[in-house]
């Protein structure tokens, strides 16, 4: 039986939690790369992989990583110094996600450079703060630097939507490790390639896993107002079908930290799961306030919340949460190398960034050292990485996509 609370009890519960969530704001605003790793340790919780699933929510065996592309190659690459770029949130409330990508790419670059002294690659990073408006100011800096032949990013869907045309016009190949809004590949861009499944894959897969494997009958879908949040929520709601309860669906704004209105709707509806479509900076206080208000059922969110900052900021309220991601867990060797380099565990999208950087550098090592050459190379590329098989359709989508489900323990 689902626990219900009265309106009065809800008000008292929320009053107590607001002070806690205000403290959470400070930690999320730090934007520190070290915060993510230390946060995971201090929370005492881990985000553990449960299963890899297909769009029907069925578990799929994990492929072998033995043949994955490595950035070192054969060690015989010979090229003039060449630059690739990374663009994403490196400061601000969601910086941990961008830092995960930067570090994954940097690890690949460092390993390539160590193994190939005659072909040195430079990684230049550009901070967009995850803000589409800021990204439109950063994008011209990238395309006007003729030394940059490839880009990892942008990281978020909104900033990708705002800048994709700029990179397309410049003929600069843009491989994203994280932007999952399905409509991004509907823009006719010839330079955009998505390195993971989009939300039209993630939404149905997670929805059917919830209603099938987990047996959920009533789910409240709450979304933020970002392109990512809106797109994933739509895919989830459509795929949940009658299990999506319109009476407790709701909207919040990026930057909100107080959720009493939507929590009142949730507790009145008495669902057996809540799905939040947005990022960890809002997911953490939402999960916290739901738990304080008496909601004891399953909190579920997507890749935007799948970060140690979620567990750090939500604390014990995160325990038992289900988090999905088109990204896979870090293999053991990669994890140890990453921790040695950055003194923290790899996070969501770190493996994807590592793979995508490796693909760009393989192209450069094989003589594709101009923007048109590298674009053509990526368009025709196919091969295994640590996270998955990489091969793209003419629109820039992966030809095969799967989703991972995680549990906070």
HEC per residue, 34-53: HHHHHHHHHHCCCEEEEEEE
Write down the pLDDT at residue 65.
77
Report pTM.
Answer: 0.81
Confidence band (pLDDT; 50, 70, 90) for 42? low
Helices of type H across 57-177: 95-115, 132-143, 157-170
Task: Decide if pLDDT at 141 tops 60.
Answer: yes
Per-residue model confidence as pLDDT tens digits over 90-118: 999 889 999 999 999 999 999 999 999 99
Confidence band (pLDDT; 50, 70, 90) for 61? confident
Beta bridge partners of 127: 88
User: Which region among 56-65, 253-262, 333-342 has the lowest average model confidence (pLDDT)?
Assistant: 56-65
Tokens, residue 14? 């929320």
Write down the pLDDT at residue 10.
34
Task: Decide if pLDDT at 80 tops 60.
Answer: yes
Write down the pLDDT at residue 43.
65
Per-residue model confidence as pLDDT tens digits over 346-383: 998 999 999 999 999 999 999 999 999 999 999 999 99
Tokens, residue 105? 């790419």
Mean pLDDT of 232-240: 97
Q: Spell out the domain ranges in the chain.
A: 7-59+200-325, 82-197+329-401
Fold of 82-197+329-401: Rossmann fold (3.40.50)
Per-residue model confidence as pLDDT tens digits over 171-190: 999 999 999 999 999 999 99
Mean pLDDT of 183-210: 96
Helices of type H across 223-349: 227-240, 260-269, 280-292, 308-314, 332-342
Percentage of residues in the chain with pLDDT exceeding 70?
A: 89
Confidence band (pLDDT; 50, 70, 90) for 33? very low
Write down the pLDDT at residue 62.
83
Q: Which of 84, 174, 70, 74 is nearest to 369 (CA)?
A: 84
Comparison of pLDDT for 43 and 295, the residue scoring more: 295
Mean pLDDT of 12-19: 33
β pairing state of 298-301 and 148-152 = unpaired
- Mean pLDDT, all residues of the chain: 89
> How far is it, in rounded angstroms, from Cα 332 to Cα 343?
15
Q: Which of 188, 183, 136, 143 is nearest to 162 (CA)?
A: 136
b/e for 273-301, b at 16 or more Cβ within 10 A? bbbbbbbbbbbbbbbbbbbbbbbebbbbb
> How far is it, in rounded angstroms, from Cα 329 to Cα 339?
14
Write down the pLDDT at residue 407.
97
> If DSSP codes are grouped into helix, strand and coil, which group holds residue 221?
strand
Q: What is the CATH number of domain 7-59+200-325?
A: 3.40.50.2300
User: Which region among 39-43, 226-230, 237-241 has the lowest average model confidence (pLDDT)?
Assistant: 39-43
């Amino acid at each position: 039986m689902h626990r219900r609370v009265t309106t009065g009890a809800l008000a008292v519960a929320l009053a107590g939690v607001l002070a806690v969530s205000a403290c959470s704001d400070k930690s999320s605003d730090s934007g520190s790369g070290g915060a993510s790793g230390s946060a995971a340790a201090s929370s005492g919780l881990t985000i553990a992989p449960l299963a890899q699933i297909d769009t029907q929510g069925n578990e799929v065996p994990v492929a072998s990583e033995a043949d994955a592309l490595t950035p070192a190659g054969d060690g015989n690459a010979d090229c003039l110094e060449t630059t690739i770029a990374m663009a994403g949130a490196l400061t601000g409330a969601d910086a941990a996600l961008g830092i995960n990508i930067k570090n994954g790419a940097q690890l690949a670059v460092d390993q390539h450079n160590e193994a190939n002294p005659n072909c040195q690659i430079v990684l230049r990073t550009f901070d967009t703060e995850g803000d589409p408006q800021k990204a439109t100011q950063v994008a011209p800096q990238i395309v006007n630097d003729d030394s940059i032949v490839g880009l990892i990013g942008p990281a978020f869907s909104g900033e990708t939507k705002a800048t994709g045309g700029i990179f397309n016009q410049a003929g600069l190949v843009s491989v994203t490790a994280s932007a999952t809004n399905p409509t991004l590949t509907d823009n006719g861009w010839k330079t955009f390639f998505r390195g993971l499944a989009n939300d039209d894959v993630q939404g149905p897969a997670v929805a059917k896993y919830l209603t099938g494997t987990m047996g959920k009958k009533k789910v409240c879908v709450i979304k933020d107002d970002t392109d990512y949040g809106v797109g994933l929520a739509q895919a989830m709601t459509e795929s949940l079908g009658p299990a999506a309860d319109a009476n407790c669906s709701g909207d919040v704004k990026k930057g909100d930290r107080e959720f009493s209105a939507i929590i009142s709707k949730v507790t009145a509806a008495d669902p057996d799961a809540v799905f939040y479509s947005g990022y960890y900076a809002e997911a953490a206080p939402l999960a916290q306030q739901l738990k304080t208000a008496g909601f004891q059922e399953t909190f579920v969110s997507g890749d935007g919340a799948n970060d140690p900052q979620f567990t750090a900021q939500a604390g014990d309220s995160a325990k038992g949460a289900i988090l999905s991601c088109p990204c896979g867990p870090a293999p053991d060797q990669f994890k140890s190398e990453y921790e040695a380099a950055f003194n923290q565990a790899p996070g969501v999208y770190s493996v994807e960034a590592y793979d995508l950087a490796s693909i760009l550098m393989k192209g450069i090592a094989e003589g594709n050292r101009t923007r048109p050459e590298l674009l053509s190379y990526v368009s025709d590329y196919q091969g295994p990485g640590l996270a998955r098989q990489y091969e793209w359709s003419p629109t820039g989508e992966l030809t095969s996509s799967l989703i991972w489900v995680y549990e906070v323990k």
